[in-house]
């Protein structure tokens, strides 16, 4: 029996897609569980790519020492003898002072003739923790020649503004109150050693 045109039109309006087409569409979309898994995968991939890009932009061209080489030299870092991971606490303590306000900074850094390395850091800075053993070992090696002044970048806002600190860790070497070398970001032992060698004995 042939259905009237009006009946066919009404049926097509209610069911514009047949059972076969509907099944194919569901298979393309996947189940709700599959759709959720795909969304999670895309979100994780986007998060990973964003983290990777930010890591590159943070310090372009600056290599970050890995945990396996922390506190030691690499074969291509100038051939220096590898440093021990730690130095005697009393040596480091004697060679280190704090300056978290402008008056202390001027007194201990800008108004002295002896060589000073200012270490701008924060306790939560991963790069600061990476280079800490290297600095301690170099302070022991250059005991009596170079003094360290640590500045908490999260507290000494007036100091970091005047010294134009853009990130931590930042190491600045001073002689006679004048800046002679600046290192921004985590560096290898050879790079930090260059700063020590540059100022060691300059004030004596």
pLDDT for res 70: 37
The verdict on residue 113 lying in a domain is: yes
pLDDT for res 21: 56
Are 54 and 81 contained in the same domain? no
Are 180 and 137 contained in the same domain? yes
Are 37 and 87 contained in the same domain? no
Are 21 and 97 contained in the same domain? no
Give the end of a domain, one of 58, 82, 100.
Answer: 58
The verdict on residue 127 lying in a domain is: yes
The active-site residue, picked from 87, 125, 132, 159, is 125
pLDDT for res 11: 55
Are 127 and 178 contained in the same domain? yes
The verdict on residue 90 lying in a domain is: yes
Are 9 and 107 contained in the same domain? no
CA distance 135 to 12: 79
- What's the structural domain count of the chain? 2
Question: At 175, which CATH number?
Answer: 3.40.30.10
Are 134 and 86 contained in the same domain? yes
The active-site residue, picked from 99, 116, 128, 131, is 128
Are 10 and 83 contained in the same domain? no
Q: Give me the tens of pLDDT residue by residue for the chain, a chain 204 residues long.
A: 555 555 545 555 555 555 555 555 555 555 666 667 676 667 666 665 554 444 433 433 333 333 333 333 333 344 333 444 455 566 677 778 888 899 999 999 999 999 999 999 999 999 999 999 999 999 999 999 999 999 999 999 999 999 999 999 999 999 999 999 999 999 999 999 999 999 997 755
Are 32 and 72 contained in the same domain? no
Are 52 and 129 contained in the same domain? no
The verdict on residue 153 lying in a domain is: yes
The verdict on residue 173 lying in a domain is: yes
The verdict on residue 44 lying in a domain is: yes
Residue 29: which domain range? 5-58
pLDDT for res 90: 62
Whole-model pTM: value is 0.57
Are 103 and 170 contained in the same domain? yes
The verdict on residue 129 lying in a domain is: yes
pLDDT for res 114: 92
Are 44 and 73 contained in the same domain? no
Active site residue 39: no
The verdict on residue 204 lying in a domain is: no
Q: What would the pLDDT profile of 57-108 be if each residue is shown by its tens digit?
A: 343 333 333 333 333 333 334 433 344 445 556 667 777 888 889 999 999 9
């Amino acid at each position: 029996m042939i259905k009237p045109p009006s009946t066919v039109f009404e049926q097509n309006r209610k069911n514009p897609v047949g059972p076969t087409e509907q099944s194919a569409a569901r298979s393309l979309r996947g189940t709700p569980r599959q759709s959720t898994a795909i969304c999670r995968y895309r979100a994780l991939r986007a998060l990973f790519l964003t983290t990777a890009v930010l890591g590159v932009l943070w310090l372009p061209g600056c290599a970050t020492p890995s945990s396996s080489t922390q506190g030691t030299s690499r074969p291509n870092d100038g051939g220096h003898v590898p440093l021990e991971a730690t130095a005697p606490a009393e040596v480091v303590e004697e060679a280190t002072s704090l300056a978290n306000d402008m008056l202390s900074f001027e007194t201990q850094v800008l108004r002295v003739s002896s060589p000073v390395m200012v270490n701008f850091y924060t306790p939560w800075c991963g790069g600061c923790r990476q280079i800490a053993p290297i600095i301690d070992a170099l302070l022991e090696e250059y005991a009596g020649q170079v003094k360290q002044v640590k500045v908490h970048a999260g507290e000494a806002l007036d100091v970091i503004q005047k010294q134009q600190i853009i990130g931590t860790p930042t190491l600045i070497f001073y002689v006679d109150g004048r800046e002679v070398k600046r290192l921004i970001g985590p560096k290898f032992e050879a790079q930090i050693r260059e700063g020590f060698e540059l100022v060691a004995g300059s004030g004596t």
